[in-house]
Homo-oligomer: A and B are copies of this chain.
Amino acid sequence: MDRINLFEKFESFNEHGSPKIIGELNGQQVKLAKFKGEFVFHKHDNEDELFMVLKGKFKMEYRDKTVELNEGEIVIVPRGVEHKPVAEEEVWVMLFEPASTLNTGNLVNEKTKKQLESI
């Protein structure tokens, strides 16, 4: 019920590719992440995923096209669709997705984060 300041939360961590939980509602979680570089193609079989750019920009690559996302833009990746975020420079992103969503979806590799920190 209290105010959450997104930029204060972003200032509180520096790791890339390690989403932090800042809120939960209706079985969904709100997460903040800093990305830099190229992620891996993956999909979530049962979960749709929203990305919103708060600072910077990145490209969402699909198998058949690429969408460039800038500050103040969102994209919803439907369940089952393979996607790969790519950020040339650091980007600050808010994620909205079910609490069950694993960052690497159907893949489990060195980028997988099973236990997310709440901040």
Q: Which residues of A contact B (CB under 8 A)?
A: 1-7, 23-28, 30, 47-50, 54, 62, 67-69, 72-78, 81, 96-98
Contacts and interface: CB of A to CB of B under 8 A. Distances in A.
A1 B75 contact: yes
B48 A25 contact: yes
How many monomers of this chain does the complex have? 2
B74 A30 contact: yes
A25 B76 contact: yes
Looking at chain A's contact residues, is the secondary structure mostly helix, strand, loop, or mixed?
A: strand
B1 A30 contact: no
8 contacts: A1-B75, A1-B81, A3-B73, A4-B76, A25-B97, A26-B47, A26-B48, A30-B50
A73 B28 contact: no
